[in-house]
Structures are given as structure tokens and as C-alpha cells.
Amino acid sequence: MSRPKKPSGRVCTECSATICFENRTGYCRPCSTRRLTTKPGIIEKRSATQRATKARPEVKARLSAIYTASRRRVMENPVERERVAKLGRDYGKRNFYQNLDEEGQAKVRAAIARGLVAWCPVDRLDENRDLRRQGFKLAERKQMILETVPGTDEYARRQMQNIPVVMRLRQEREKAQAF
């Protein structure tokens, strides 16, 4: 019969919480978890151990058998099979990118990028990229580019604002030519 786990007056080295006398780490559970999940050295060591373990042939075979048995159980149950199929239909569309070759991935990236700047004409995408790299905000870039594209509201607004200036310049020119 094992001894009951009673507090022994020992405290966590980080937060001073009471810990059990059988505790070997010297940390309470929250501090131990935080330590194991946030320190890069510990995370890397644990990841390396997991990789080495999963690379062993006997472990691979055992995990493969477990996975195969699990999939078989799922596929034998019609309700569970339909649930998994629905998950695949719902979420698989988002992961199609991983199954594409380089050319397909490039097309998808271009389409996504195009969707993010749908307001920008195709021939002005390079200008938009340059302005973004210079530090202009989206609203500023949008205004600057659309003011130069005929057929947009911004272009028409700019033309209307320029009319008084054009009229004044024309009057000055005509006045200068009259003498």
C-alpha cells in the first residue's frame, strides 16, 4: 500500500505554492507545465526525442497499425463515416493548396493576392506594391492609384477639382496672348 500524498511543507520554487512530498521536480503543476511548454531548449529536446522515437521501425509499425484500426472502425460505422466525410468536404477545400505542384501553388498565390487588392487595376499592381513598401497606408494607396484610373469616382472627383485651376490657367494664357 502506497503512502497518501500529503502536503509536506514543500513549496514550488517559482510561485511558493504547496507541493506534495513525492514531487520530484520542485514545481507545482501550473509552473511545471509553463516551464515545459515555453522554454525553447526544453521544447527542442522534447521534439528531437519524439522525432527519434517515431523514426524507429517498430514504433512506425505500431503507430501504423493503431491508425489503420482506428480508420477501419470509423469506416465501418455509417454515422461516423458521414461525419468524417462532412468534415472533409467542409475543411478540405481550404487545404487543397498543399496537394498542388509549384505551378498550381503559384496560380493560387496570385489569385489570393489579386483578391486582396481587388480594388486595384491589374496594370497598377506593381505601383501598389511599391507604394506599400514606401510605407503608405491602404487608404492612401487606394486614393493615389484610383485618382489616375479613368472611369473611377476618384478620377472624376479629381477632374472636377481641377476644372477651376484649368479655367484660371486658360484665362491667364489668353490674357497673356491678347497683348
Q: Quick check: 5 pLDDT over 60? A: no
Q: What is the pLDDT of residue 72?
A: 92
Radius of gyration of the chain (CA): 33
d(Cα 51, Cα 47) in Å, to the nearest integer? 6
d(Cα 95, Cα 116) in Å, to the nearest integer? 19
Q: Quick check: 53 pLDDT over 90? A: yes
pTM: 0.36
Most confident of 15-29, 56-70, 99-113: 56-70
Average pLDDT over residues 91-120: 78
